[in-house]
């Protein structure tokens, strides 16, 4: 998958995006963690999906994690 910036994704599109990234199984099994606090990412607490240029990372919606998301 080529690098693209996605600004918004609808809830119903999340499973396809995760599948395209090869991460749907991990997400469904609770294996995806917030890159900042380690909390398990769920559909209810997912704030953003981003890349550090090496791997795909996730952030939860905690206020303390929001400010740590890299700006491009």
Q: Is the pLDDT of residue 1 over 50?
A: no
In a domain? residue 22: yes
Say if strands 56-60 and 46-51 run parallel, antiparallel, or are unpaired.
antiparallel
In a domain? residue 1: no
In a domain? residue 46: yes
Q: What pLDDT is attached to residue 31?
A: 98
- Report pLDDT digits (tens) over 13-70: 999 999 999 999 999 999 999 999 999 999 999 999 998 889 999 999 999 998 888 8
In a domain? residue 21: yes
Q: End-to-end distance of the chain based on CA atoms, in angstroms?
A: 19
Task: Extract the tokens encoding 39.
Answer: 């909390």
| Total domain count, the chain | 1
Q: DSSP 3-state assignment of 59?
A: strand
Measured CA to CA, the distance from residue 17 to residue 43 in angstroms comes to 13
In a domain? residue 3: no
Confidence of residue 4 (pLDDT cuts 50, 70, 90): low
Q: Is the pLDDT of residue 3 over 80?
A: no
């Amino acid at each position: 998958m080529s690098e693209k910036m996605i600004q918004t994704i609808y809830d119903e599109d999340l499973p396809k995006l995760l599948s395209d990234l090869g991460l749907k199984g991990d997400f469904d099994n609770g294996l995806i963690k917030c890159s900042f606090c380690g909390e398990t990412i769920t559909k209810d607490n997912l704030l953003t999906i981003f890349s550090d240029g090496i791997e795909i990372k996730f952030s939860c919606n905690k206020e303390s994690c929001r400010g740590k998301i890299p700006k491009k």
